C-alpha cells in the first residue's frame, strides 16, 4: 500500500527518474536502508546529523542529478561541525552543474563501515524478450571494471537467488577471502527476492538499481537507489 502511494506521487512530477527519494519504496518492501533524512536547509541538516551517531554522509537530492558523485554531490565522513558548510557546498555544486536543476534538498545519512562491508549491486531492467531481469553483482567501482554480474527472470525464488550469489566470480570476496569477515549471505538472498517481488508487483517500475547495497557481516543496507518509472 505504501509502495503504491509512493509510485502514485511520482506520477505528479515532471520526471520519471527517481533517486534517493525512492528509499521509502525499499523500506516498504523490508529492504534495510541506512538511517537518514532529507533536509532543505542547513540548520535542519545539523539537527539531522546530531541524531545520527558518528560522522555522516551527505548527498544532493535532485531528479536532475542521478550520478551524484560525478558532480561532487556526495561527501562521506562529514563531522557534525562541518555539516552546515558541506550543505552549502553541495547545493552550490549542483547549481554550478545545472543552474535550473530542481533541488529537493540534501540527504543526511548514517555512515557505513566500508572496511567490513562490501559494495554489491542488485538491479532490475525489463528485457523485451525475457521480461523483468534481476541482476546481482559486485558494486561500487568493481561493477564496471569486472563486469561480474548474473541475471534471473523475476520473480526469483530463494534457491535461484542463492545460485546468483554462488555464480559470480567474486563470490569468494563475500565469503571471507583475504582475511575479511564473511558477509551476511542470507540477507543478500532475501534482498534479491524482495526486490524481485517489488518489481513483479509494480510493472510501472521500468528499471531499478540499488548501487551500492552494502553487504556486511551483520546484514545489508541499501545506500543508493535509482529507478525509472513508467
User: What residues line the site for ligand ADP (CB under 6 A)?
Assistant: 34, 57, 59, 67-69, 74, 76, 109-112, 114, 119, 140, 211-212, 223-224
Q: Which does 67 bind (CB under 5 to 8 A by kind): ligand ADP, Mg ion, none?
A: ligand ADP
Q: How far is the CB of 152 from ligand ADP (least distance, A)?
A: 24
Regarding 120 and contact with Mg ion (CB under 5 A), the answer is no
Q: Alpha-carbon distance 9 to 16, whole Å?
A: 11
Rounded to 5 degrees, φ, ψ at 100 are -100, 20
User: Which CB, 60 or 134, lies closer to ligand ADP?
Assistant: 60
Instruction: Build a one-symbol-per-residue string for 189-228: x at contacts with Mg ion by CB under 5 A, - elsewhere.
Output: ----------------------x------------x----
Q: Which does 76 bind (CB under 5 to 8 A by kind): ligand ADP, Mg ion, none?
A: ligand ADP
Q: Alpha-carbon distance 196 to 153, whole Å?
A: 9
136 Cβ contact list (under 8 Å, min separation 6) = 120, 121, 122, 149, 150, 161, 164, 165, 168, 188, 192
Q: Alpha-carbon distance 181 to 81, whole Å?
A: 33
Residue 81 is classified by DSSP as G
Q: How far is the CB of 155 from ligand ADP (least distance, A)?
A: 26
CA dist 116 to 60, 168, 211, 229, Å?
26, 20, 17, 34
Q: Which does 191 bind (CB under 5 to 8 A by kind): ligand ADP, Mg ion, none?
A: none
User: Which CB, 119 or 190, lies closer to ligand ADP?
Assistant: 119
Amino acid at each position: 500500500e505504501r509502495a503504491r502511494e509512493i509510485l502514485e506521487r511520482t506520477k505528479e512530477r515532471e520526471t520519471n527518474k527517481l533517486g534517493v527519494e525512492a528509499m521509502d519504496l525499499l523500506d516498504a518492501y523490508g529492504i534495510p536502508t541506512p538511517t537518514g533524512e532529507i533536509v532543505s536547509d542547513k540548520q535542519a541538516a545539523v539537527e539531522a546529523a546530531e541524531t545520527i551517531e558518528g560522522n555522516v554522509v551527505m548527498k544532493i537530492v535532485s531528479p536532475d542529478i542521478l550520478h551524484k558523485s560525478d558532480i561532487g554531490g556526495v561527501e562521506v565522513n562529514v563531522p557534525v561541525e562541518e555539516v552546515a558548510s558541506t550543505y552549502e557546498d553541495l547545493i552550490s555544486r549542483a547549481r554550478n552543474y545545472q543552474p535550473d536543476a530542481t533541488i529537493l534538498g540534501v540527504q543526511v545519512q548514517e555512515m557505513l563501515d566500508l572496511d567490513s562491508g562490501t559494495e554489491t549491486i542488485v538491479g532490475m531492467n525489463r528485457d523485451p524478450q525475457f521480461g523483468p531481469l534481476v541482476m546481482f553483482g559486485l558494486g561500487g567501482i568493481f561493477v564496471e571494471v569486472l563486469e561480474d554480474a548474473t541475471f534471473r527472470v523475476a520473480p526469483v525464488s530463494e534457491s535461484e537467488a542463492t545460485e546468483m550469489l554462488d555464480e559470480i566470480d567474486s563470490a569468494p570476496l563475500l565469503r571471507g577471502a583475504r582475511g575479511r569477515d564473511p558477509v551476511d549471505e542470507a540477507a543478500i538472498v532475501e534482498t534479491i527476492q524482495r526486490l524481485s517481488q517489488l518489481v513483479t508487483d509494480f510493472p510501472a517500475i521500468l528499471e531499478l538499481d540499488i548501487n551500492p547495497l552494502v553487504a556486511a557481516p551483520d546484514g545489508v543496507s541499501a545506500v543508493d537507489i535509482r529507478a525509472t518509472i513508467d
